[in-house]
Chains A and B, each alone.
Chain A
């Protein structure tokens, strides 16, 4: 049974840093791409970042590029989002999500077919 349990988050001042964690169970991070998606209060969903199943590629939304870094620890089956230089507009609930696509081992194809499991979400508030 797949579970994604998030931790981290909280209140931070502008310019500060925070690290979010997403502990996966029921599957291996080494077999699937993983994403972060955020949702500002009362707003829609915004994709933030992805790390490929083999960990060789990461991509970040332009709005967070150069400030946020997605990473993972396969030995602990945990996904991370390191958030630096935080701004008030980064205030949101952050979700980790598992990619539905099952890549072939060794494949360099980077694709997605939707996000089939999501963490419970964690609130990040950037305010002085």
Chain B
């Protein structure tokens, strides 16, 4: 099973600032990685798939990069609705698909 490790666990950012979230896979996963956003009491929402392709309706301030084992989700200028939990997911070698433990983006 591929283990996904996200860092940091918590990121404190002010509105308007840039947020950079990291995700590392325990094995090579090409670009078979997705990012999700989850707000309290809600289901996750797909942000990015294929490591860098924005899902339908996702604002351009969200961008993904990386390939192989190291990946990054960048939020270029944080808006109030972006404070949430973010998960990465690998689907290169599955089942099972596996998720990272999450990064909480909180207001500084």
Interface set of A (CB-CB < 8 Å, partner B): 35, 37, 44-47, 50, 59, 61-62, 95, 97, 100, 111-116, 118-121
* Chain B min CB distance to A95 (Å): 5
Instruction: Considering the complex, give the chain B residue whose CB is closest to the CB of A49.
Output: B95
Q: Is B83 an interface residue (CB 8 A)?
A: no
Q: A50-B95, A59-B95 are in contact. Are A44 and B49 (CB under 8 A)?
A: no
Q: Which chain B positions have C-beta within 8 A of A95?
A: 43-44
The answer for the CA separation of A111 and B101 in the assembled complex, in Å, is 23
Q: Contact check, A45 vs B99: say whether CB atoms are below 8 A apart.
A: yes
- CB-defined interface of B65-102 with A at 8 Å, one 1/0 digit per residue? 00000000000000000000001010100111111111
The answer for the CA separation of A44 and B87 in the assembled complex, in Å, is 8
Interface of B is mostly: loop
Within 8 A of A (CB), among B33-48: 34, 36, 38, 43-46
Interface set of B (CB-CB < 8 Å, partner A): 32, 34, 36, 38, 43-46, 49-50, 55-56, 87, 89, 91, 94-102
The answer for the CA separation of A45 and B98 in the assembled complex, in Å, is 8
Partner of A46, one of B38, B45, B55, B99: B99
The 9 nearest A-B residue pairs measured at CB: A118-B43, A114-B34, A114-B49, A59-B95, A45-B99, A112-B91, A47-B97, A44-B101, A47-B96
The answer for the CA separation of A62 and B94 in the assembled complex, in Å, is 12
The answer for the CA separation of A115 and B87 in the assembled complex, in Å, is 12
* Chain B min CB distance to A112 (Å): 5
* Chain B min CB distance to A36 (Å): 12
